[in-house]
């Protein structure tokens, strides 16, 4: 209750910043209305701890929050707008038409609509874009945001957040295209002014673009998807395609824009952040959240494209109690308190009885202990038992002395073998393994046994050992090579003393 009161005071003060979040499988992207943005790596299991730390460290408690769904957490379809349906009911009415397209039941969907440009319908009637997302997934994100002390206001989608970049890129409203590349996929949007005409997922991964063996195919595939999007924008939507595609990718070292330019009819350029009065590029991982924080200019020539998936099904339900219900609950509470008091008194009397019984048992036990103590004191020790005890004590003392001598001997010899073992480990070539080692500290003899992929590796290994100070001057007088029955390995045995075999 205290936390909710403080939250309301902070909201009324008007000093709390607006927060924008994109919760992804690899972490949480965030942005503030002040322009700050960042990305916190975390697994889904650690989201709540990471977001809670951000709320505490950055003073977000009670801040109005917009949650932006990534592209892979929702779907968008174009459907004909039915006549006679109120604007507020369009989302629920149209989501049932998607039952053949969704991979889940429409009853488990949250939905909303935003207008489709009339000049792009090409005689197909009045169309709307229907956004549908799985309710169970969105509910988890809503609960996460609310548990961390944020006041969720809206749930937006990625393409409508990214379109807020376009007015700076396309001030003349001639049309602009933006490609945002992520680790596992990319997204391309085409807008005129503040109006979104096309959004498309690009199935390309950053690993494929960085890997030299798959880079060319990945670039060609990405360029083909971009060109198809421009062709669809021109042929199906009847619009003039933009002459330049702006690119935003995390890996700025890769000259991706020049690599794509040779395959796409339009020019490809890296996004110029000076258009946003920035000296450094925004981290591409938080581009969607940062774009959502940008304001939109009011222009009567543009259609309003907005969604809010935070509907009544996701909001916490607060029901007002009527006076009669409140009195009934109060009476029930009094009855519960009276019953609890009676149970407590009964339990107290039972505890007193149990305590008295335990005290009596303690008195009996005390008397038994005193009797046994007197009997033990009356007994005299057996001389034979004392003699056996002395013999056992002497034996243990002798064994302890022997154990101390063995431990001293082991400690002394271990330091002598460390240099030889280190030399053996340093010189082992690829394709050769040691299976047995014999080191004789008394005579300085060495015996080795192992396996090798090739017989020539064994003399190379022995020659390298000769360069080690620990094996300088040693000559291996015993040398034997055998090939296994399957012919894959060669077993070898070598020793400095010819009279003794290498270890088995």
Torsion of CA 233, 237, 242, 246, to 10 degrees: -50
Residue where one domain finishes, among candidates 260, 292, 324: 292
By the 8 A CB rule, do 293 and 20 touch?
yes
Question: Which of 255, 274, 292 lies at the terminal end of a domain, its last residue?
Answer: 292
**Inter-residue contact 16 to 10 (CB < 8 Å):** yes
333 in any annotated domain: no
Kindly tell me if the per-residue pLDDT of 50 is higher than 90.
yes
CA distance 142 to 221: 36
- Which run of H or E residues covers position 20? strand 19-24
What are 410-431's pLDDT values in tens digits? 555 445 677 878 878 887 888 8
Torsion of CA 162, 164, 129, 300, to 10 degrees: -170
pLDDT at 303 over 70: no
Residue 279 lies in a domain: yes
For the stretch 70-123, pLDDT in tens is: 999 999 998 888 877 777 777 777 878 888 888 888 888 899 999 999 888 877
The answer on pLDDT for 369 being more than 60 is yes
| 95 part of a folded domain | yes
- Please list the residues that pair with 452 across neighbouring strands: 432, 490
DSSP at 432: E
Half-sphere exposure of 133 (CA within 13 A, CB side): 28
Cα–Cα distance for residue pair 405/385, rounded to 1 Å: 31
- Cβ atoms within 10 Å, residue 246: 22
The torsion angles phi and psi of 309, rounded to 5 degrees, stand at -80, 0
The pLDDT of residue 307? 93
Do strands 267-270 and 244-248 pair parallel, antiparallel, or not at all (unpaired)?
parallel
Q: Confirm whether 487 is domain-assigned.
A: yes
- Which residues span the domain enclosing 15? 2-292
DSSP-derived letter for residue 318 is -
* C-alpha span between 239 and 342 (Å, rounded): 81
Judged by DSSP in three states, 110 sits in strand
pTM above 0.75, yes or no: no
Model confidence at 12, pLDDT cuts 50, 70, 90, reads very low
User: Is the predicted pLDDT of residue 494 greater than 70, yes or no?
Assistant: yes
In a domain, 378, yes or no: no
User: Is the residue at 402 inside a domain?
Assistant: no
Q: What is the CATH number of the domain that holds 415?
A: 3.30.1360.100
- Residue that the structure tokens 């009567």 belong to: 300
With 70 as the cut, is the pLDDT of residue 345 above it?
Answer: yes
pLDDT of residue 4 exceeding 60: no
Provide, rounded to the nearest whole percent, the portion of the chain with pLDDT above 70: 88
Closest by alpha carbon to 232, among 223, 241, 221, 244?
Answer: 241
Token pair 């397209």 is found at 101
Q: What is the mean pLDDT of residues 245-274?
A: 88
- pLDDT tens, residue by residue, 158-194: 999 999 999 999 988 899 999 999 989 999 999 998 8
* Overall domain count for the chain: 2
361: in domain: no
Instruction: Give the confidence band of 227 by pLDDT, cuts at 50, 70, 90.
Output: very high
d(CA 416, CA 407): 15
**Where is the domain boundary, 292, 326, 346?**
292
Q: Mean pLDDT over all residues of the chain? A: 84
**Sheet-wide strand order for 127-134:** 75-80, 127-134, 109-115
HEC sequence for 436-462: EEEECCCCCCEEEEEEECCCCHHHHHH
Structure confidence by residue, pLDDT tens digits, 13-46: 445 689 999 999 999 999 999 889 999 999 999 9
| CATH number of the domain encompassing residue 242 | 3.30.420.380
- Tell whether 452 is covered by a domain: yes
Q: How many Cβ atoms from other residues are within 10 Å of residue 80's Cβ?
A: 14
The partner residues of 310 in beta bridges, in order of sequence, read none
């Amino acid at each position: 209750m205290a936390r909710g009161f403080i939250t309301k005071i902070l909201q009324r003060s008007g000093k709390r910043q607006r927060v924008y979040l994109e919760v992804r499988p690899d972490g949480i992207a965030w942005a503030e209305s002040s322009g700050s943005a960042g990305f916190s790596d975390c697994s889904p299991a650690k989201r709540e701890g990471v977001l809670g730390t951000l709320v505490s460290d950055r003073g977000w408690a009670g801040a109005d929050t917009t949650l932006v769904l990534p592209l892979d957490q929702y779907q968008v379809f174009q459907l004909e707008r039915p006549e006679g349906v109120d604007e507020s009911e369009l989302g629920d009415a149209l989501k049932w038409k998607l039952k053949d397209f969704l991979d889940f039941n429409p009853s488990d969907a949250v939905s909303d609509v935003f207008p489709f440009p009339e000049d792009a319908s090409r005689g197909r009637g009045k169309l709307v874009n229907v956004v549908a997302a799985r309710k169970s997934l969105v509910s988890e994100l809503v609960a996460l945001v609310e548990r961390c002390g944020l006041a969720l206001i809206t749930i937006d989608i990625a393409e409508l957040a990214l379109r807020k970049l376009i007015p700076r890129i396309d001030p003349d409203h001639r049309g602009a295209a933006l490609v945002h590349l992520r680790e596992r996929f990319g997204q391309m949007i085409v807008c005129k002014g503040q109006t979104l005409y096309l959004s498309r997922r690009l199935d390309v991964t950053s690993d494929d673009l960085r890997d030299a063996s798959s880079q060319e195919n990945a670039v060609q595939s990405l360029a083909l998807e971009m060109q198809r999007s421009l062709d669809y924008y021109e042929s199906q939507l009847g619009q003039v395609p933009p002459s330049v595609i702006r690119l935003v990718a995390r890996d700025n070292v890769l000259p991706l824009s020049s690599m794509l330019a040779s395959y796409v009819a339009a020019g490809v350029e890296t996004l110029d952040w000076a258009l946003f009065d920035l000296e450094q590029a925004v981290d591409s991982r938080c581009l969607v959240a940062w774009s959502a924080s940008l304001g939109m200019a009011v222009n009567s020539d543009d259609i309003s494209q907005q969604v809010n998936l935070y509907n009544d099904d996701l909001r916490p339900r607060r029901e007002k109690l009527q006076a009669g219900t409140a009195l009934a609950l109060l009476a029930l509470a009094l009855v519960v308190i009276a019953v609890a008091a009676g149970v407590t008194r009964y339990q107290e009397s039972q505890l007193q009885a149990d305590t008295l019984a335990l005290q009596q048992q303690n008195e009996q036990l005390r008397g038994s202990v005193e009797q046994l103590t007197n009997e033990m004191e009356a007994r005299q020790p057996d001389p034979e038992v004392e003699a056996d005890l002395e013999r056992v004590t002497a034996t243990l003392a002798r064994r302890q002395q022997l154990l101390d001598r063995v431990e001293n001997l082991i400690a002394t010899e271990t330091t002598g073998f460390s240099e030889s073992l280190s030399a053996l480990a340093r010189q082992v070539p690829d394709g050769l393994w040691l299976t047995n080692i014999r080191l004789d500290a008394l005579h300085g003899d060495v015996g080795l046994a192992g396996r090798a992929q090739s017989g020539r590796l064994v003399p190379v290994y022995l020659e390298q050992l000769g360069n080690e100070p620990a094996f300088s001057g040693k000559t291996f007088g015993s040398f034997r090579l055998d090939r296994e029955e399957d012919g894959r390995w060669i077993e070898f045995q070598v020793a400095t003393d010819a009279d003794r075999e290498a270890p088995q």
